[in-house]
């Protein structure tokens, strides 16, 4: 017996698929159109579920983890400039993200931090640890998206965001499970979040280790972990497809995810790893980490994964940290919220242009305005459409 996630379609009586039944227990989450449950299944159970025409997808539970950032070489006291905001032209934008709702799926948030003053923050814990952020990763990401100035230092891109939904899917140690992540995604949809940001990844090596520790030969453990990874990718594709297929109901959210930090260009230029899950799921904007080499010249960080949608500042990024402080970090985890923040500015811009914003037309703006002023040694494979740019 093993734990499986079951995504099931349900008939809708009123065509409003995002009216929630408010069934937010630790085991099940239901919207009018779909339900997601976690069940312990044997092989016969799995066969029976596969035959059910109402079952959209079944996937085994997998470990997930934050995409662990690197400590920056930049001194914590060096707060005179946040280069990332200049690079993406956020300081020149007339837009603030006003009226846009964002969801962050991460380690939680230090809600009392002065950076979040004036923002209505709704928290939901999917880890059983309680709300808050004893890790710091989620607080840092939130600060980049919508944080207010701290001690005269601007850290946030879309400072006009007044409503944020924070799903705590990773615990103090940065670990979690896929069932929490998928249920948090449905919760974010229930809340009608316009933009959903995820600086996390699926722990494939952790899944292999778990199998080996339970007596599996490493070759078989790797094969079964790969099967689980494949099925969870399909679960992501199914959930996002369901959200996109109902754009006609006036709701079509944008998903953004960090590409991952597994590449090792410093060791060998060939050591590039492709975008990891959930960033590699269909319909998700995957984000690489850029670094500054000169004024208006950028490179891709040596650790940043490839085959991405966009790039954004991800080295020497200063943002909010628990204890009402600031911290400087490197990682694609830091790049992802830059794209989420800029997407919020474009979301507002579309509304002001009397265009109903959707994931599709906002993504088109993000791609069309991205800049490719990177070193000649980098390619589109490294930076995607280019460096994200604010309207």
pLDDT tens, position by position, 136-180: 999 999 999 999 999 999 999 999 999 999 999 999 999 999 999
Which two tokens mark 68?
A: 């662990």
Catalytic positions are 106, 137, 333
* pLDDT score of 99 more than 80: yes
- Is the N-terminal amide bond of 278 cis, ω within 30° of 0? yes
Query: In degrees, to the nearest 5, what angle opens at C-alpha 186 toward C-alphas 182 and 187?
Result: 115
Q: Contact, 145 vs 319, CB < 8 A? A: no
Give 78's pLDDT tier (boundaries 50, 70, 90).
Answer: low
| Mean pLDDT computed over 200-207 | 91
Cα gap 279→255, rounded to integer Å: 9
Question: What distances in angstroms separate CA 223 from CA 216, 227, 368, 387, one per listed residue?
Answer: 10, 6, 40, 36
Torsion angle, CA of 205/206/211/217, rounded to 10 degrees?
30
pLDDT of residue 11: 57
pLDDT of residue 31: 60
Give 247's pLDDT tier (boundaries 50, 70, 90).
Answer: low
Architecture in CATH for domain 63-383:
3-Layer(aba) Sandwich (3.40)
| Mean pLDDT computed over 210-223 | 95
> Among 327, 6, 63, 336, which residue's Cα sits nearest to residue 211?
63
Give 240's pLDDT tier (boundaries 50, 70, 90).
Answer: confident
Mean residue pLDDT of the chain comes to: 90
Which two tokens mark 12?
A: 């809708």
Q: What is the DSSP letter of 274?
A: B
Residue boundaries of the structural domains of the chain:
2-60, 63-383
Q: What is the DSSP letter of 281?
A: S
pTM: 0.91
pLDDT tens, position by position, 79-91: 556 899 999 999 9
| Stronger pLDDT, 17 or 66, i.e. the higher one | 66
> Among 6, 345, 302, 310, which residue's Cα sits nearest to residue 157?
345
Give 22's pLDDT tier (boundaries 50, 70, 90).
Answer: very low
| Interstrand relation of 28-31 and 317-321 (parallel, antiparallel or unpaired) | unpaired
pLDDT tens, position by position, 285-317: 999 999 999 888 999 999 999 999 999 999 999
| Stronger pLDDT, 44 or 362, i.e. the higher one | 362
Q: Locate tokens 């919207």: which residue?
A: 31
pLDDT tens, position by position, 355-371: 999 999 999 999 999 99
Cα gap 259→241, rounded to integer Å: 20
* pLDDT score of 345 more than 70: yes
Which two tokens mark 232?
A: 């969870």
Q: Contact, 38 vs 3, CB < 8 A? A: yes
pLDDT of residue 284: 97
| Stronger pLDDT, 49 or 233, i.e. the higher one | 233
228 burial type by CB count under 10 A (0-12 exposed, 13-18 middle, 19+ buried): buried
> Among 143, 161, 162, which residue's Cα sits nearest to residue 95?
161
Q: Contact, 84 vs 141, CB < 8 A? A: no
Cα gap 250→238, rounded to integer Å: 19
């Amino acid at each position: 017996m093993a734990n499986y996630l079951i995504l099931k379609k349900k008939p809708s009586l009123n065509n409003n698929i995002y009216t929630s039944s408010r069934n937010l227990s630790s085991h099940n989450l239901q919207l009018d159109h779909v339900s997601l449950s976690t069940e312990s299944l044997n092989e016969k159970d799995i066969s029976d579920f596969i035959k059910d025409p109402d079952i959209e997808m079944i996937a085994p539970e997998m470990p997930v983890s934050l995409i662990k950032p690197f400590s920056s070489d930049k001194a914590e006291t060096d707060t005179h400039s946040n280069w990332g905001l200049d690079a993406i032209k956020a300081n020149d934008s007339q837009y603030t993200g006003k009226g846009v709702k964002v969801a962050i799926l991460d380690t939680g948030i230090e809600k009392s931090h002065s950076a979040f003053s004036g923002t209505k923050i709704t928290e939901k814990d999917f880890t059983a640890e309680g709300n808050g952020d004893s890790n710091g990763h989620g607080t840092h990401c939130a600060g980049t998206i919508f944080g207010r100035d701290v001690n005269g230092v601007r850290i946030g891109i879309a400072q006009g965001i007044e409503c944020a939904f924070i799903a705590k899917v990773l615990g103090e140690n940065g670990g979690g499970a896929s069932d929490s992540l998928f249920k948090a995604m449905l919760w974010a949809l229930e809340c009608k979040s316009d933009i959903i940001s995820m600086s996390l990844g699926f722990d494939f090596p952790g899944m292999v280790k778990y199998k080996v520790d339970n007596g599996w030969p490493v070759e078989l453990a790797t094969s079964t972990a790969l099967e689980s990874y494949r099925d969870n990718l399909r679960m992501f594709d199914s959930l996002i497809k369901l959200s996109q297929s109902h754009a006609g109901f006036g709701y079509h959210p944008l998903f953004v995810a960090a590409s991952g930090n597994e590449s090792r260009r410093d060791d060998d230029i060939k050591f590039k790893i492709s975008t990891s899950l959930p960033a590699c799921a269909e319909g998700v904007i995957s984000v690489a980490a850029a670094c500054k080499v000169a004024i208006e010249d950028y490179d891709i960080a040596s650790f940043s994964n490839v085959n991405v949608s966009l790039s954004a500042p991800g080295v020497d990024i200063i943002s909010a940290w628990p204890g009402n402080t600031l911290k400087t970090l490197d990682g694609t985890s830091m790049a992802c919220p830059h794209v989420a923040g800029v997407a919020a500015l474009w979301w507002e811009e579309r509304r002001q242009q009397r265009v109903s914003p959707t994931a599709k037309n906002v993504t088109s703006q993000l791609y069309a305005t991205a800049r490719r002023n990177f070193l000649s040694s980098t390619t589109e494979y490294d930076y995607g459409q280019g460096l994200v740019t604010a309207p």
